[in-house]
Amino acid sequence: MKILTGPEKLKKEVMDRNLCTGCGACVGLCPYIYAVNERVALVHSCGLKEGNCHQVCPRIELNPVEMDKQVFNKPRADHILGENKGIFFARAVDQQISENGQYGGVVTALAAYMVKNKKVDAAVLTRANGNDVPEPVLVQTMEEVLGCSGSKYSACPTLKIVSEGLKKGFLRLCVVGRPCQVIAFRKMQRLCGQNKLKCFPDNKFEAIVIGLFCFWSLSPDFYIKLKDKTAGNKTVRLDIPPNRGLVAVLENGAKVEFPLEELRPLIREACVDCFDITSEYADVSVGSTEYDPEWNTLIVRTEKGEALIKEAQAAGVIEIKQYPSEILPNLLTAVANKKARVLHGLQQGDYLRLSDDYLQGFYAAQKTTESEKC
């Protein structure tokens, strides 16, 4: 039996099974892998016996215990939300940012603060383009950050421009991405530490990673429906209110709704098996609260993330308050239930590598969460 090389293994185990998350990591590393309209494909095998493309893929051999050790240098204490130093409500102080950003505008505020004050050389973001497929961009000004505000709910291959930025000499990056992109980026950092990514200058760069909450992303076919439903009117914001479908806000102020039953066939297959919906390996994770549209949920995870939040708070960029204890069980239950569904459907050879100790820790935490909610 033929032993698969890196790109062939990636194609067989991920692309051919519709498990590609569209993170873009492999696209930025390999000239034979392309992304068109958020669809990633191998156009020609490079023939390498060991390829970095499959080693950075978030859908091949994800071992949470190893990833916890790499990012946090210790085992996780929280088997539901992942390692963290605290969970809060947060929002941008600047009115322009809060109006342009999603909900509390925390992601926009943090990225804008870092590029404006030269804390990073550039930010790796996703920019919406009206009703067209979003695109990955490297930005260096506050104005450019504001131009990327708002959630896209798509699988834009944002990480494909990381290598481009590093080759330009941007060795201090702010990377904003979905959970799968955070995992892929951490895998890239691991390979850099092992001096295996020769395309990166000296294999040395720094990054602050802002992870997004993400239950699912939509296939490129969504944009076809979006153009049809909006009749050519430009979309300026997308939102998913609690217990509803998706709402597109148009430039003229009108709103167009996509019911859940219309969205479900457009959800990428890879999202069904995703075990991480709160970006557990980011420095900070940001999502909605589902209770107050003027605030974001903020999970502080690493020392680097904690330092950023304290600095941004002291500078008057964001304000935070304690996460309401009465609604915390709802978040924990939602995350735990999603993980349990993934584990229930797990097949031999799937991407997760979970030890018995890890599984016991998760199920014990899930049981505690259920009893606390009751």
Query: 134 and 29, same structural domain?
Result: yes
Q: What is the pLDDT of residue 346?
A: 84
Query: 152 and 124, same structural domain?
Result: yes
Query: 228 and 117, same structural domain?
Result: no
- Could you tell me the pLDDT band of residue 202, with boundaries at 50, 70 and 90? low
Q: Which of the pair, 123 or 101, is modelled with greater confidence?
A: 123
Task: Compute the chain's Rg from CA coordinates.
Answer: 20
Contacts of 48 (CB under 8 A, 6+ apart): 5, 6, 7
Q: How many domains does the chain have?
A: 2
Query: 237 and 131, same structural domain?
Result: no
Query: 273 and 260, same structural domain?
Result: no
pLDDT single digits (tens) 313-329: 999 999 999 999 999 99
Query: 229 and 212, same structural domain?
Result: no
How big is the chain, counted in residues?
Answer: 374
Exposure string of 132-161, with b = 16+ CB inside 10 Å and e = fewer, is ebbbbbbbbebebbbebbbbbbbbbbbbbb
**Model confidence pTM above 0.85:** yes
Give the C-alpha separation, 15 to 61, whole Å.
15
- Could you tell me the pLDDT band of residue 4, with boundaries at 50, 70 and 90? low
Q: Please state whether beta strands 122-129 and 172-177 pair in parallel, antiparallel, or not at all (unpaired).
A: parallel
pLDDT single digits (tens) 258-291: 998 999 999 999 999 999 999 999 999 999 998 8
Q: Is the pLDDT of residue 1 over 50?
A: no
Mean pLDDT of 352-362: 93
Query: 143 and 87, same structural domain?
Result: yes
Distances (CA, A) of 161 to 35, 126, 178, 182: 12, 11, 15, 14
Query: 318 and 205, same structural domain?
Result: yes
Q: Please name which of 51, 47, 83 lies closest in space to residue 64, comparing C-alpha atoms.
A: 83
Q: Is the pLDDT of residue 3 over 60?
A: no
The stretches of 30-102 forming alpha helices (DSSP H) are 52-55, 64-72, 95-100
Query: 180 and 232, same structural domain?
Result: no
Mean pLDDT of 209-236: 91
Query: 163 and 231, same structural domain?
Result: no
Give the C-alpha separation, 103 to 115, whole Å.
21
For the record, the structure tokens of 341 come out as 């569904």
Give the C-alpha separation, 50 to 8, whole Å.
10
Range of the domain at 235: 221-266
pLDDT single digits (tens) 48-63: 777 888 889 999 999 9
Q: What is the pLDDT of residue 307?
A: 98
pLDDT single digits (tens) 141-200: 999 999 999 888 989 999 999 988 988 889 999 999 999 999 999 999 988 877 666 656
Mean pLDDT of 336-345: 94
Give the C-alpha separation, 22 to 111, whole Å.
22
Q: Is residue 342 part of a domain?
A: no
